[in-house]
A and B are shown apart, each in its own frame.
Chain A
């Protein structure tokens, strides 16, 4: 019996991996189609072919909106597609050269093979063999600035893909977002004074910075509990492409759509808000040789950060620049500028058979002044709990920053049928 099971397992595995021929990067080129409209054309072609050949569904599963499409071109015949792969990070269906001609029309094949004319991203992993690491990398990157689920819901961040509301083509590529604070500049949750509301996709985010509506603190500021930044009204923009992640934002006071409720409109003595911030980092993936994907995936993000804290007071409803702090410190300018190098490490445990990692760990240092650590424990694929610790490594705590603080959150994730 044991022997039969072993043979069966071996046969199944052999069958699955037989289709993934080892490709030589010298002979072939591979990229992933990112231009939405061309992705839809590929989806339509696969659907049409399945309409003509319904019995082929076992060899050619239906295309899911979240599937990646990989084009493989032979350098010996650069006018034709050698293979098309589609699927997610662990399961790809390979359409070989002959069937590519049956499934995709000539004009679409010609369009897809001209990669310099549309939006694509690298798919080098097809040359590296089929590694679990890629699934982990996608998970970490999506969790950082996009979402691994149709809906991600927590106290500090909400992402809802437009596919939740609409079946329109491309709706799973865009989402709406709400977030509190900004971990990247060491100001998580309420400490930044702002919330962000915007539109985003895998590559960009843009929206408004507004004073936060939620005034309750999801944790405890151990030291410096009055030192929370005020809210202001402004905007932000971010992009993530080719391993580079950057974000910048700006804001000011005196907007009629709602100042921070903590600021008295008539007179307010010590107002501090982030009027400009920015950060940029580059993703370095720790190779599987160093950390075996069986245990997890790690991404390092070295970069730079900058933010400016504007010091103001309001007298008789008029906003004025301020050069003194409550403890008598004299500022050179009404804005304090903080900048320096940053290092962020994102790590997850191995993605289990249910499609989620049990642990997600983030640690970050901004110069040597600010240290942030975050641990997420995923109880199931849909629910997890997190704890965040933020520490300012200085004996001189500024009027807007806390020394030690800890926050707790619940993460909920929902996926709807494709």
Chain B
């Protein structure tokens, strides 16, 4: 009995898996005008003949069809049909009636041997209640938006992005590579003027290779003693799932170092490494019915724009060196231990959907939590005033850290906080 029960459960389980794998639900919008007219023209005539036109008076011959088809036990069946008007408002068509009307035309629709498009689930799916639609994990409209949030914070979505706080990106379309300049080390929690270094290098869709140069921040407000910059090199990688960065700096490299702010108390990052996992989410907008001024009736308007949110969670390790410049060179007093150097960081990057060429709002926030010290927060908010002009406000804070000097006394380094307003030109 027990054996039969086990076998039955196994069969049921296997059957359910097999069914789940073979059955499929596919939906699309017909964009071939001839196909739409070939179906809707005769269908409207059929409704008229059967005295059903009045109850379906929202359907027009110029509408686009939305088709939803499912494979049920190896057979393709129509499970949803709608006619979408020019304002992208879909009007459901009864599937049973459509089959009754002309099964050969339904077959033609299901074969999909014509031009079609994916359904933008965000703008249309909400109005398609009652129509069976696939819960697509991946959708082209969504992925395009997700790509944009990644591009904007990784390099730029435009061709030129030149910001007054020294974040410059020039993206060359012909080679799909670019040139960039960026102040500070964002992932380690020393963005903008919290670091006296600038990265200059070549960027591409997935990689950045750069040299690190000591640098005096152009301007910033706040009370801070930035981490010193030293000459070095770095590589960053980013993909939709994973990202990483590795950089090396050496203050003893025989290159100009005249911009050290305090040569008797020098703290610089000898090497930095970070690795993160990332995922991007859709943030739906909020719609509201508004009255139209020059036209009768109401229309829907976004009171909160939809957008895309990318979340990164990762680990950073930074080996900090504390020392001073003496007549015989740089003397190391102390360095951060492994535990002091490790940070867990979380970062969110948000943009509102693009309207024309512009993403109205861009917001980033980051928190670094050190196991011992090195805790910090940072944020940037950008607002597109015009297509080409962006106002941005950035701020960051990093908690103090204690080192031992040459005599074994404590030296507390206070990176502090900064606030940087800026303007950015995007072309």
Contact = CB atoms under 8 A, between A and B. Distances in A.
Interface of A: 34-38, 40-41, 44, 47-49, 51-54, 101-102, 105-108, 111, 115-120, 169-170, 173-174, 199, 201, 203-204, 206, 208, 233-239, 241, 246, 248, 250, 252, 254-257, 276, 278
Contacts of B242: 174, 199, 201
Given A52-B111, A241-B207, A40 B138 contact: yes
B240 A170 contact: yes
Interface stretch (B113-121, B281-289, B415-423): B113-121
22 contacts: A37-B138, A37-B146, A37-B240, A52-B110, A54-B71, A101-B116, A102-B112, A102-B114, A105-B28, A105-B140, A107-B141, A111-B143, A115-B176, A169-B137, A199-B275, A234-B271, A235-B246, A237-B235, A237-B244, A239-B235, A254-B335, A255-B337
Given A206-B237, A235-B273, 15 more contacts: A37-B143, A44-B136, A49-B112, A52-B26, A52-B111, A102-B112, A115-B176, A169-B137, A169-B138, A170-B239, A174-B242, A204-B244, A206-B245, A237-B235, A255-B338
Contact of B118 (A35, A54, A107): A107
B241 interface: yes
Closest 5 CB pairs of A and B: A237-B246, A119-B205, A51-B24, A206-B244, A106-B117
A51 B26 contact: yes
Interface in B207-260: 207, 209, 233-235, 237, 239-242, 244-246, 248, 250
Contacts of B237: 203-204, 206, 237, 239
B176 A256 contact: no
A203 B245 CA distance: 14
Contacts of B98: none
B350 interface: no
Nearest to B148: A117
Contact of A250 (B118, B207, B248): B248
A38 B139 CA distance: 10
Nearest to B136: A44
Interface string B63-78: 0000001010010100
A304 to B, nearest CB: 14
Contact of B140 (A36, A107, A116, A239): A107
B124 interface: no
B271 A235 contact: yes
Contacts of A278: 233
Contacts of B113: 102
B206 interface: yes
Interface string B315-351: 0010100000000000000010111000000000000
Interface residues of B, number: 58
Contacts of A102: 112-114, 116
A203 B237 CA distance: 9
Instruction: Give the most central of B140, B271, B319: most A CB within 10 Å.
Output: B140
Contacts of B235: 204, 206, 237-239, 248
B240 to A, nearest CB: 6
Given A116-B176, A239-B237, A256-B338, A105 B118 contact: yes
Nearest to A116: B173
Given A41-B143, A255-B338, A118 B205 contact: yes
A235 B110 CA distance: 55
A241 B253 CA distance: 28
Contact of B116 (A53, A105, A169): A105
Contacts of B174: 116
Contacts of A108: 118, 140
B176 A120 contact: yes
Contacts of B143: 37-38, 41, 111
Contact of B240 (A36, A199, A204, A237): A36
A276 B248 CA distance: 9
A235 B317 contact: yes
B241 A206 contact: no
Nearest to B74: A54
Contact of B69 (A35, A52, A116): A52
B76 A52 contact: yes
Given A174-B242, A204-B237, A48 B24 contact: yes
B360 interface: no
A201 B176 contact: no
Contacts of A40: 138
A41 B71 CA distance: 20
Contacts of A174: 241-242
A256 B337 contact: yes
A174 B273 CA distance: 18
B205 A53 contact: no
Contacts of B319: 252
B115 to A, nearest CB: 5
A276 to B, nearest CB: 7
A206 B140 contact: no
B204 interface: yes
B147 interface: yes
B372 to A, nearest CB: 12
B401 interface: no
Nearest to B120: A107
B82 to A, nearest CB: 17
A256 B337 CA distance: 8
A20 B345 CA distance: 50
Contacts of B117: 105-107
Contacts of B271: 234-235, 250
B79 interface: no
B152 to A, nearest CB: 13
B245 to A, nearest CB: 8
B26 A170 contact: no
Contact of B207 (A239, A248, A276): A239
B131 interface: no
Contacts of A111: 140, 143-144
A42 B61 CA distance: 32
A393 B318 CA distance: 38
A105 B139 CA distance: 11
A239 B138 contact: no
B381 interface: no
A204 B244 CA distance: 9
A111 B140 CA distance: 8
A37 B244 CA distance: 19
Nearest to A258: B338
Contacts of A36: 239-241
B30 to A, nearest CB: 11
